[in-house]
Amino acid sequence: MADTTLMTIPGQVDPVPVARDITPREDGRIDLIGLPRPRIRELFAEAGLDARQAKLRSKQVFHWLYHRGVTDFEAMTDIAKTMRPWLAERFVIGRPNVVEAQHSSDGTRKWLLQTDDGHDFEMVFIPDADRGTLCVSSQVGCTLNCTFCHTGTMRLVRNLTPGEIVSQVMLARDALAEWPKGVMDGLDDAEDAGHYTADGRLLTNIVMMGMGEPLYNFDHVRDALKLVMDGDGLALSKRRITLSTSGVIPAMERCGEEIGVNLAVSLHAVTKDVRDEIVPLNKKYGIEDLLQACADYPGASNARRITFEYVMLKDKNDSDGDARELVRLLKEFNLPAKVNLIPFNPWPGAEYECSTPERIKAFSDIVFEGGISAPVRTPRGRDIDAACGQLKTAAEKKSRAERDREAAAAQQA
């Protein structure tokens, strides 16, 4: 067990944030992933480079890290050979430790990852015909305790650092072998840092919908996504990034102003009693206040609608009356909205059942007839517990020997 103490704050109370932006390593080296250019420059200067050298080297290293995706200083061919060992002695280019990688029969991929201080978290890649979406975690565990969500049954351990968030995207790029222009030897002096586009790529979209509540780790999520959106870095458009929140109202306006990505809200109920039960955060931030915060979200428009996520729970939130009330609420607040209806993904010990397909269709039809788009999300990755609400791994129950045997068997196959 790692020595990081558990956060024990319940979901309806704001957790105390973890201030550190880098997870300490046993070898004393500093992981550069997740750090912006000014911070890299500062670290190079603190390590002994003069101001001019620190500025030049930080620009070069930043390019190799985020545009080329290299994981070894020796691959940075425009940096002097004598300089590369100096960098390697003091710094490291990190990736999460992969504990286990799973492939679903529908093409979904899930990784169980581990931080340098020994805590597990997960990410999921969901391929579709016209896009590929990476579901990224922001915390180890979760503090919200949503009763329908398997991930919510975990305790919150700590926030992920910017590097631990960004490196999920980088690891996915590694696995999909799609760094812009490839990882090549040599660098044309006339070449600009370049700009990544999603055209022809497998990974086209990012959703902050993995483990944790992103707005309870606001600063680190913001800093990580700025690197993802940096034109000289990972360069993914903010229009291809969606942040999901259960309704941390005080941080929602900041999210729109300081990050500017698409917003998704885990609504899941239209009455106080039901939402209090299944999303306990509702006891602190009620439905009406949440919807007003959505109406005030910077940048929201018909072209950039707010997505409302609604998990379908049998005899709990799936009646015709619930559907009509959902339409009424969204129209009352004049929200540019889309509703994603999510069939409940069962897990051992869950106290809910999924609504029947007929009931889900009837609910969807009512919302559509009310003038609001309400597609039914196709469950993905259920066979590897990678579907919505299932990001709590059964792999943590396996011994290292079991994982090694499974990996060997998969390799032989």
Q: Which residues are catalytic?
A: 122, 388
Going edge to edge, which strands form the sheet with 337-343? 97-103, 109-114, 120-127, 132-135, 205-208, 241-245, 262-266, 306-312, 337-343
Q: At what angle do helices 51-63 and 83-90 cross, to 10 degrees?
A: 80
Q: What angle do CA 312, 314, 316 make, to 5 degrees?
A: 85
Contact assessment for residue 372 and residue 339, using Cβ atoms and an 8 Å cutoff: yes
DSSP β-ladder status, 120-127 and 132-135: antiparallel
CA distance 278 to 322: 15
Task: Quote the tokens at residue 128.
Answer: 């579709």
Residue 262 makes CB contacts below 8 A (sequence gap 6+) with: 238, 239, 241, 242, 243, 304, 306, 307
Backbone angles phi, psi at 409, to 5 degrees: -65, -40
Residue type (1 letter), 61: V
C-beta pairs of 122-125 under 8 Å, 24+ apart in sequence: 122/210, 122/211, 122/391, 122/393, 123/168, 123/171, 123/172, 123/210, 124/210, 124/381, 124/386, 124/391, 125/172, 125/175, 125/176, 125/203
Beta strands in 200-269 (DSSP E): 205-208, 241-245, 262-266
CA distance 28 to 31: 10
Of 380, 390, 376, 291, nearest in space to 331 by CA: 291
| DSSP alpha helix (H) spans, 199-295 | 218-229, 249-254, 272-278, 287-295
CA distance 166 to 169: 5
What is the SS3 assignment for 183? coil
Q: What are the residues facing 162 on neighbouring strands?
A: none
Q: What angle do CA 191, 197, 198 make, to 5 degrees?
A: 150
